[in-house]
Amino acid sequence: MITIVDYNAGNLRSVKRACDAVGIESLFTQDPDAVAKADKLIFPGVGHARTAMATLVRTGLGDAVRHAFQRGTPILGICVGAQLLLDSSEEGETPGFGFIPGRTRLFRLEDHSLKIPHMGWNNVVVEQAHPLLSTLQTGDELYFVHSYYLDPAEPRHVYATTDHGFRFCVALGRDNLFATQFHPEKSGRVGLGLLARFASWDGTPC
């Protein structure tokens, strides 16, 4: 059973439909106790980082996610749910969980022909192996919608990159935590494959 964290900032129904499509049993919850004790967590998110983090703090869900990470629960972060895992975000100067050193930054593009938000399909480059990326190949396209990007402090946490004016991280990980800036639930066969692998992942990076 996969538990989807419901903190009023996630694309929950799309994530659950994607899980259903690959035969994964899932539920979403606002109960911190259920999150803290979950076997596996999906931590999705869309919207504003400061609002999202304020809700997590107010409801106790933030502490529950932190507890789950510390006890070794396999966690998959998506979009804002990935951005909040770093130390901080430039969106509202928001403190993050600090699970992975780094900062979420606003796109500042020299090429003004490129649009912000970065929206649509982009191919990715796999930078290092990970069980959740085992069937993802460099050049595969995934779906993005974001105005801020992941900037981990250390290359060892970067698992995939893409280019939108410059190359940046779109998948990062540490221990039992993996997260993507792209939306696997909206990325067709490739994204569904990542979700299916998460269902069988034991939280070991390699």
Handedness of CA 169, 17, 196, 101 (dihedral sign): positive
DSSP 182: S
DSSP 130: -
Q: Which two tokens mark 172? A: 């990062």
**Looking up tokens 């596996």, which residue turns up?**
40
130 catalytic? Reply is: no
From the candidates 79, 118, 157, 164, which is the catalytic residue?
79
**Looking up tokens 């998959």, which residue turns up?**
76
For residue 98, give the 3-state DSSP assignment.
coil
Peptide bond preceding 95 in cis form (omega within 30 of 0): no
From the candidates 25, 48, 185, 206, which is the catalytic residue?
185
79 catalytic? Reply is: yes
The C-alpha atoms of residue 60 and residue 43 are separated, in whole angstroms, by 14
185 catalytic? Reply is: yes
Q: Enumerate the active-site residues.
A: 79, 183, 185
